[in-house]
């Protein structure tokens, strides 16, 4: 949580340094949060598919060794 707060503060400072109007500050913050949530969701899906693939391969490999 602390890292998130620090990241948002750094992002706000970057917005100010880049000269983006302060009225767009919340839009920029929201966009960054949205991109982060979507990336996390995709990463979790990838990790779950990879885990299921490994489980299926280990089950199939065990059946071949037993037979």
The domain locations on the chain are: 2-66
Residues 6+ apart with CB under 8 A from 20: 28
Q: Positive or negative CA dihedral for 24, 25, 27, 31?
A: positive
Distance CA 21, CA 30 (A): 15
pTM above threshold 0.75: no
pLDDT tens for the chain, 67 residues long, are: 898 889 889 988 998 899 988 888 889 889 989 999 999 999 999 999 999 988 888 877 666 665 5
Return the pLDDT at 8.
Answer: 87
């Amino acid at each position: 949580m602390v890292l998130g707060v620090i990241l948002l503060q750094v992002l706000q400072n970057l917005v100010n340094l880049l000269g983006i109007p302060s009225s767009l500050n919340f839009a920029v913050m929201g966009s960054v949060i949205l991109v982060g949530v979507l990336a996390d969701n995709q990463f979790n899906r990838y990790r779950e598919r990879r885990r299921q693939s490994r489980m299926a391969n280990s089950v199939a490999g065990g059946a071949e060794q037993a037979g």
